[in-house]
Amino acid sequence: NAGVMQNPRHLVRRRGQEARLRCSPMKGHSHVYWYRQLPEEGLKFMVYLQKENIIDESGMPKERFSAEFPKEGPSILRIQQVVRGDSAAYFCASSRRTGGPDEQFFGPGTRLTVL
């Protein structure tokens, strides 16, 4: 499967725990994006990363949320001390960025439920 991979597909956490969401981009893609889809809302941009660099984190909440894309391995979205309002579907997308249009390809998402 050459598509964007995300795991886990479903994650249940209790309030106060940490959630780690992983994303492996498509082969040949070096740009990764994270979006959040809340119930009854559209997809909202969170962060844009390249290998070892955060390019744009203007959509990330200021506290408890962090993201990384290390030189080796998947991109990680980390949510510390989760609260019920963090329950949502989190999608990762990747692109090649050749200077052309911003075509992003999405993974299947991680559904986070905070009890």
Contact residues: another protein, CB under 8 A: 4, 6, 31, 33, 35, 41-45, 48, 55-56, 58-59, 91, 93, 95, 97, 100-109, 111
Q: Which residues of 24-44 are buried (b: 16+ CB within 10 A; e: fewer)?
A: bbbeebebbbbbbeeeeeeee
Phi, psi torsion values for 110, nearest 5 degrees: -120, 125
Closest to another protein by CB, 26 vs 76, is 26
Q: In whole angstroms, how close is the CB of 8 to another protein at the nearest point? A: 14
Pick left, alpha or beta for residue 109 (phi over 0 → left; psi -120 to 50 → alpha; otherwise beta).
left
Closest to another protein by CB, 59 vs 74, is 59
Q: Is the peptide bond before 74 cis (omega within 30 degrees of 0)?
A: no
Closest to another protein by CB, 43 vs 115, is 43
Closest to another protein by CB, 17 vs 111, is 111
Q: In whole angstroms, how close is the CB of 16 to another protein at the nearest point? A: 27
d(CA 64, CA 109) in angstroms, rounded, equals 20
Q: In whole angstroms, how close is the CB of 46 to another protein at the nearest point? A: 10
